[in-house]
Structure 1
Amino acid sequence: MQMNEEKDSPAARTVAALVARARAAQQVAEGYDQQRVDELVAAAGWAIMEPARNRALAELAVADTGIGNVDDKVRKNHRKTLGLLRDLQGARSVGVIHEDADKGITEIARPVGVVCAVTPSTNPAATPANKIINALKGSNAVIVAPSPKGWSTCAQLIAHIHAQFDRIGAPRDLVQCLPAPVDKASTHELMRQCDLVVATGSQANVRAAYTCGTPAFGVGAGNVASIVDETADAELAAERIVLSKTFDNATSCSSENSLVAVASAAEPLLAALCARGAWLLGAARKAELAQLMWPEGRLSPAVIGQSATRIAEKMAAREGAGRPEWQAIATARPSMLIVEEDDFGEDHPYSGEKLSPVIALYRVADFAQAADTVRQLYAYQGAGHSVGLHSARPERALALGLRLPVSRVILNQPHCIATGGSFDNGLPFSLSMGCGTWGGNNFSDNLNYRHYLNVTRVSQPIPEQVPSEREIFGSFFDKYGTA
């Protein structure tokens, strides 16, 4: 009885109406050829990339969420969307997409249907745009479930997309948004009624996606560490780290949360970081900052997506804090705040994700201890995501990939910019990073258009290819015999 009541709830009825409209529109899109589908993609991309719209969306996002900064959101909206459109250009997603004559296999792309896109407040324009474009590339309809704080930005983005659809004569209902106020009930109903869920944001949303009864892709928790070894160029490493850690006030799950420096590299690295505006906190200031950041054992919204200067200003206004020193730090307008750490876990909150320009520094004896330190960090939080390495020995990146529970190893690059795809690396442009089984996910790729497709395979007969027992067991027999 309770289940029937839930299915007839106001949220269920509202979502059912949206889904019905989406299904009707998707049936239209399913008849489009590749050229027409690519027009949908271009229309949605231009909706966010046109400079005036881009900046207005960035300003609205910061005004409504209080997270990040406008100029970086403008760059993110532009760069991530442009990179995604580059990845999709020429990609086949309609009809026959691959033929293998030797194996007699023909692959046909088929839509998944109606996609539920759960998106976070940290990227209320860029992440919905990325998911919408990928979904459209597969001839799907998509309904966005934004965070409550990000609703107005998402709604404005979709209004821009609808205007572009009007220009090309495409159905508006291909892209929709849950009506405000967005809550757990409506989001969970959307998850239940759609054909595929793609969830980015809190681990609570990811867990809900995985248990909603609908096929789902979800992402793991971020808590990226970057290793700086004894061969690294300290100036280049510092430049990349500051660029990454300060971008959009460290709202990205790919922003570094810890630096693991080999002993001989630590002081040159610190000097280079401080020359770029970083501020190393002493033990007293570290303890005071922890009270602001984790007042009840959980990361406080008071620091999420705030600049280092703003955080220092908040500390200068707190009772019981070292106000003169915090005021001096705020006046210096630091780029980021550094604390030294040597342990891991709940009793050492700086070892976890901070979603702000605050970073922990671990000093280690050598590269082997650096790798083990990252392993211990990820045993607490962040397993499966990625690790950074600043080194003149690229073979060490391979060693980390063979040993650590990570889906990506980022060598000598600004981590948060590189991990989600960049114009100077080969990773797909995405704002949703799979973390594999290490991170509780069912994929370890950067979420891309292939995840929004079903693929039908036509199998034709080919000449029989039956191996001999010797071809299969030869090396085994030679080593162990045939008993």
Structure 2
Amino acid sequence: MQEAQAFPRLVDGEWRAASSDAATIAVHDPAEVATIVGTVPSMTAAEVSELYAAAEAGARRWRATSLLTRGEIMATAADNLRADASRIAADLVAENGKTAAEAAGEVGKAADFLDYYAGMARLPYGTLLADARPKTTVEARREPLGVVCLVTPWNDPLLTPARKLAPALLAGNAIILKPASETPIVSVHLARALDDAGLPAGVLGLAIGRIGEIEEALFDDERLAAVSFTGSTAVGRTLQRRLAGRNVRVQTEMGGKNASVVLADADLDLAAATIAAASFAQAGQRCTATSRVVAEAPIAEELTAKLVAAAKAARLGPGADPATTMGPLVSRRHQSEVLGHVGRAREQGATIAAGGDAPDGPLAGGCFVAPTVVTEITTEMDIWREEVFGPVVAITVVDDFEEAVAAANDSAYGLSAAVFTSSLESAHAFADRAEAGQVSVNLPTSGWDVHHPFGGFGDSGSPFKEQGTEALNFYTRVKTVAIRTGA
């Protein structure tokens, strides 16, 4: 067996290996958990503090760098990602379990984020304001915050860091990136692309390590100006409480329990195919995945049959296999959690119409869960309310549009929602009344582009949106300047 590659960390513009053989994290292949695909350093609290010292100096250096130069570096980094896309995608498949097509798409999207914000370097910034005083000019400037910490999840381990990092860099901030311990390898590739593009020392540092060992150093440092977090609602709320009372800006993109409503006048073939893709792609491990389906009674049986057929048609396997249409879940622990949700649904009286188990045989060594369709549920069941974050979709039946809207909104979460209908009136009515940050009509709950503002309501997020021009609001502060030019 080929020895697993050891990946370094980036500190103050230097690439450093782990400080000792013991200070490493082994990264496992979720398609065959016995295989170690790489190792990364497991940093200490003191090493994280060193990152902050470097970032403090890097923030001053980067703020003094012109917007055009920042944009040039980011555009070059995007080119670097694309030039190395095959290797990066292969490592993404190996550590996360995505299919090769999903991984290639993620590399391309990460580069798109860098390109999009690089292009914004040439747009106007700041505003001139009228003033009643004579010979006085007033302007509102946007300035960087300073040092920001980005905490990113294992499900999109390249795309999510790029989504946060690109606007933060354009705004002039220094960044400490904390990737998930399950999938840290591709964050090294992202940092390498930026470092090779000429990013100054200290502007980006990688805080790779076990969060329990570096949490205090990461979040309690007085140099910290902002935290952008993507992950579970439970962890996000804990982070909000930890940072409360301090002058630290917090952005949280958290869980989802996204509903797709299918009305009786919908194109059922389109609805079923779209919902299946939104539910089972990436093994359902997306915050925007469809996990609830609300079907009007006249078409509920036919829609259910189509979703069951789609679930059974999925081809499970390692992501590197071209025949695979759905890869494994990220870890044994997560596999157990998802199967636990399905088991509780069964105990509470639901019917498992498809899937609901882990395959045996050649796939038993991986973290696979068969695509699952749950029927005969009530809205009081846990499967209707709790985020599963796996390839599991629950179906409930309603009598009319009013009940459908109420069911879709019957959640503490509010990330994404969709409606399938041929009625323009119903489409607009649903868009108006859906309590979700993203609403789709005859489209999946997932799949938002880099320039679309993104973020949820309720337990799904915080007031600050990601993506598009909205993202810059989180990473900047506004200074108003008045200048008198004469007597």
Q: Report the TM-score, using the length of structure 2 for normalisation.
A: 0.71
Query: Which residue is equivalent to 2:374?
Result: 339
Query: Which residue is equivalent to 2:300?
Result: 266
Rounded to whole Å, the distance in 1 between the matches of 2:196 and 2:238 is 33
In proportion to residue count, which structure has more strand?
A: 2
Pairwise CA RMSD of aligned residues?
3.5
Specify the SS of the correspondent of 1:106: strand
Q: CA deviation at 1:56?
A: 2.2
Rounded to whole Å, the distance in 2 between the matches of 1:456 and 1:369 is 48
Q: Do structure 1's residue 388 and structure 2's residue 418 form an aligned pair?
A: yes
Q: 1:34-433 counterparts in 2 under 5 A?
A: 34-50=67-83, 53-65=84-96, 67-82=97-112, 85-86=115-116, 89-90=119-120, 96-101=125-130, 106-165=139-198, 170-179=199-208, 181-193=209-221, 194-210=224-240, 211-212=242-243, 213=246, 214-273=248-307, 276=310, 278=312, 314-316=358-360, 336-345=371-380, 347-349=381-383, 351-376=385-410, 378-379=411-412, 383-417=413-447, 420-421=448-449, 427-428=452-453, 433=454
Q: CA deviation at 1:272?
A: 4.3
Conservation of the 8 A alpha-carbon contact between 1:199 and 1:217: yes
Conservation of the 8 A alpha-carbon contact between 1:134 and 1:452: yes
Counterpart amino acid of 2:126? I
Gaps of 5+ in 1: 1-9, 281-290, 301-309, 318-326, 328-332, 462-483
Conservation of the 8 A alpha-carbon contact between 2:77 and 2:114: no
Counterpart amino acid of 2:191? I
Rounded to whole Å, the distance in 1 between the matches of 2:340 and 2:172 is 46
Conservation of the 8 A alpha-carbon contact between 1:246 and 1:335: no
Counterpart amino acid of 1:163? D
Counterpart amino acid of 1:114? V
Specify the SS of the correspondent of 1:173: coil
Conservation of the 8 A alpha-carbon contact between 2:341 and 2:388: no
Query: Which residue is equivalent to 1:304?
Result: none
Conservation of the 8 A alpha-carbon contact between 1:257 and 1:352: no
Per-residue CA deviation, residues 218-264 of structure 1 (Å, 9 max, x unaligned), is 12311111101122111222232233223322221001001111112
Counterpart amino acid of 1:454? R
Specify the SS of the correspondent of 1:239: helix
Per-residue CA deviation, residues 435-471 of structure 1 (Å, 9 max, x unaligned), is 235546233565723321112233689xxxxxxxxxx
* Cα distance change of structure 1 residues 155 and 273 upon mapping to structure 2, 3 Å threshold: same
Specify the SS of the correspondent of 1:14: helix
In proportion to residue count, which structure has more helix?
A: 1
Conservation of the 8 A alpha-carbon contact between 1:437 and 1:443: no
Rounded to whole Å, the distance in 2 between the matches of 1:44 and 1:405 is 37
Rounded to whole Å, the distance in 1 between the matches of 2:110 and 2:428 is 27
Conservation of the 8 A alpha-carbon contact between 1:279 and 1:336: no
Conservation of the 8 A alpha-carbon contact between 2:109 and 2:159: no
Q: CA deviation at 1:316?
A: 5.0
Identity of aligned residues (%): 23
Specify the SS of the correspondent of 2:389: coil
* Cα distance change of structure 1 residues 99 and 240 upon mapping to structure 2, 3 Å threshold: farther
* Cα distance change of structure 1 residues 445 and 172 upon mapping to structure 2, 3 Å threshold: closer
* Cα distance change of structure 1 residues 437 and 175 upon mapping to structure 2, 3 Å threshold: same
Q: CA deviation at 1:118?
A: 0.1
Counterpart amino acid of 2:155? T
Rounded to whole Å, the distance in 1 between the matches of 2:59 and 2:101 is 35
Counterpart amino acid of 1:394? L
Conservation of the 8 A alpha-carbon contact between 1:58 and 1:125: no
Q: CA deviation at 1:158?
A: 1.3
Rounded to whole Å, the distance in 2 between the matches of 1:176 and 1:84 is 17
Q: Report the TM-score, using the length of structure 1 for normalisation.
A: 0.72
Rounded to whole Å, the distance in 2 between the matches of 1:336 and 1:354 is 12
* Cα distance change of structure 1 residues 363 and 80 upon mapping to structure 2, 3 Å threshold: farther
Counterpart amino acid of 1:191? F
* Cα distance change of structure 1 residues 175 and 47 upon mapping to structure 2, 3 Å threshold: farther
Per-residue CA deviation, residues 358-416 of structure 1 (Å, 9 max, x unaligned), is 2111111111111111222x14xxx2212111112234344334434322211221221
